[in-house]
Amino acid sequence: MALQTASLLPASFSIPKEGKIGASLKDSTLFGVSLSDSLKGDFTSSALRCKRELRQKVGAVKAETAAPATPAVNKSSSEGKKTLRKGNVVITGASSGLGLATAKALAESGKWHVIMACRDYLKAARAAKSAGLAKENYTIMHLDLASLDSVRQFVENFRRSETPLDVLVNNAAVYFPTAKEPSFTADGFEISVGTNHLGHFLLSRLLLEDLSKSDYPSKRLIIVGSITGNTNTLAGNVPPKANLGDLRGLAGGLTGLNSSAMIDGGDFDGAKAYKDSKVCNMLTMQEFHRRYHEETGITFASLYPGCIATTGLFREHIPLFRTLFPPFQKYITKGYVSEEESGKRLAQVVSDPSLTKSGVYWSWNNASASFENQLSQEASDAEKARKVWEVSEKLVGLA
Ligand code: LMG
Ligand code: NDP
Ligand code: PMR
């Protein structure tokens, strides 16, 4: 057991390499979370402290969930009653908003162990604590979706923990509605599509193998979409509208140098880049479904959780917008949902036994009942989905 625990040690959560700490600090500054150099020391020591804690916890989780020794469904010896082990769910961007609320809903159900895959360890730790998550129900692992290296490192670390993966939730996102000039990921992609789509695309492609191996009764890969990427809705018609065009900018790598930073090859627009990234998310979910659902039995799903007008997504918007947006959505469009309610919705897509249909984009009506929603023409275009897939796999180094 001592040996086994030791072998888990490096995997219990990933500490960025020296260079990487610098990178994540730089990113944090970029997103308005200022981590000074003096904090760097704190970050490292706190990371080590948490690593120690996790050694114990992951040991416990492992005992609970280890794949070959503990099958997903056990027959208890006493009454022949079937018991299900805890499911393991990775949620990207679980340090705030929808991701955190979902982590909370799942952790509190007692049926899930949540792996919070976050770019800012300290922020995630504080968020988990203030949300009241019980220590045994979650693990924080470092993941910066704006770096393909970090994505690969995350997958490696996760595999080393030997934890079965039952559900992956691609939730993290950035939105730069007021940016005049594009920003870029570590690999030189425009940051919204680079983070929201390409980072998740690589993560999902790599973790597909792990999901396939899970013996959990319902394994799922979920990609959060949005109404604002769907031009068959009023919200999707608020300018600038999503439009991927012929993907010439994406094919050029979104570098903003010899090619445009925008997928359609047009002038940079931060709000459009976000909406385009959501179209990619919804197309990717469907392409996964077409390619892998039958073979793997994995349920692929996307959703629009409602307008969660209070989250960090709008942190880069002007203050007036941030003040008026929640009442506007609450009283005028009636599209508003609280973070708590949105978390329950996404938690349903993770674990509700009635939501196992694959290839579906879920939404909720005003009575909070789920229904299969229609995607816009572009967001359901199978030919475009195939092209986005093929171009994306070249960009992330899979083809
Ligand atoms: C852009 O502006 C910015 O230019 C861009 O930089 C980025 O920030 C982007 O999405 C983010 O926004 C959007 C801007 C332009 O919209 C506004 O926010 C301006 C507000 C205008 C106020 C209108 C009055 C609303 C009622 C007052 C309530 C007070 C509270 C205000 C709170 C504001 C919070 C939002 O938008 C426009 O150009 C204005 C026109 C928008 C109407 C779009 C609707 C088109 C409908 C077309 C119908 C198509 C049919 C679809 C079929 C559907 C079938 C179901
Ligand atoms: P938040 O900003 O509250 O949450 C986004 C999360 O993504 C944060 O945890 C953030 O981390 C994380 N993140 C950002 N960049 C990276 C990165 N490079 N690597 C890892 N994690 C990263 O926004 P929401 O909760 O609103 O957004 C969650 C999802 O919901 C998104 O996919 C969004 O598109 C979708 N959505 C939101 C709607 C809304 O009305 N809010 C409506 C429809 C869909 P950190 O905490 O460190 O910043
Ligand atoms: Mg929208 C039923 C109407 C509806 C809904 C459900 C949303 C959701 N919005 C609606 C209508 C309108 N919005 C109208 C009529 C306007 C013009 C006044 C409007 C404006 C608006 C702006 C400027 N809305 C926005 C913005 C943003 O910056 C948000 C955005 O586009 O982020 C990409 C946004 C949103 N409106 C929504 C939702 C869910 C968002 C944000 C989040 C997202 O898609 O992820």
CA pair distance 151, 200, nearest whole angstrom: 8
pLDDT range class, residue 71, cuts 50, 70, 90? confident
Please report how many Cα atoms fall inside a 13 Å half-sphere around the Cα of residue 392, on the Cβ side: 28
Whether residue 303 has its Cβ less than 6 Å from ligand 2: no
Q: Active-site residue numbers? A: 274
Q: 318 CA to middle of ligand 3, Å?
A: 14
Q: 346 CA to middle of ligand 1, Å?
A: 27
The secondary structure of residue 363, as a DSSP letter, is E
Structure token digits, residue 156 = 């490696």
CA pair distance 247, 244, nearest whole angstrom: 6
Q: pLDDT digit string (tens) for 98-115?
A: 999 999 999 999 999 999
pLDDT (0 to 100) of residue 48: 41
pLDDT range class, residue 77, cuts 50, 70, 90? low
Q: pLDDT digit string (tens) for 187-204?
A: 999 999 999 999 999 999
Given a contact cutoff of 8 angstroms between Cβ atoms, the answer to whether 175 and 314 are in contact is yes
Choose among 228, 314, 316: nearest CA to 276: 228
Choose among 358, 373, 257: nearest CA to 306: 373
Question: Which residue has the CA at smallest separation from atom 40 of ligand 1?
Answer: 238
Given a contact cutoff of 8 angstroms between Cβ atoms, the answer to whether 221 and 204 are in contact is yes
Percent of the chain with pLDDT over 70: 81
pLDDT range class, residue 79, cuts 50, 70, 90? low
pLDDT (0 to 100) of residue 73: 79
CA 395 from centroid of its chain's CA atoms = 19
Average pLDDT, the chain: 85
Q: Which amino acid is at 270?
A: G
Given a contact cutoff of 8 angstroms between Cβ atoms, the answer to whether 363 and 373 are in contact is yes
CA distances from 182 to 35, 167, 229 (A): 22, 33, 19
CA pair distance 256, 192, nearest whole angstrom: 13
Q: What is the ipTM of this complex?
A: 0.89
Residues 6+ apart with CB under 8 A from 89: 106, 112, 113, 114, 115, 166, 167, 168, 169, 350
Ligand 2 pocket: which of 119, 336, 361 to mutate (most atoms within 8 A of CB): 119
Identify the nearest ligand to the CA of 121 by its number. Answer: 2
Residues 367-379, mean pLDDT to the nearest whole number: 97
CA pair distance 117, 99, nearest whole angstrom: 10
Predicted TM-score (pTM) of the model is 0.86
Q: 40 CA to middle of ligand 3, Å?
A: 37
Identify the nearest ligand to the CA of 331 by its number. Answer: 1
Bigger pLDDT: 46 or 221?
A: 221
For ligand 3, what atom is nearest to the CA of residue 274?
33
Bigger pLDDT: 124 or 20?
A: 124
Q: 235 CA to middle of ligand 3, Å?
A: 5
Question: Which residue has the CA at smallest separation from atom 16 of ligand 3?
Answer: 238
Helix (H) or strand (E) holding 22: helix 18-30
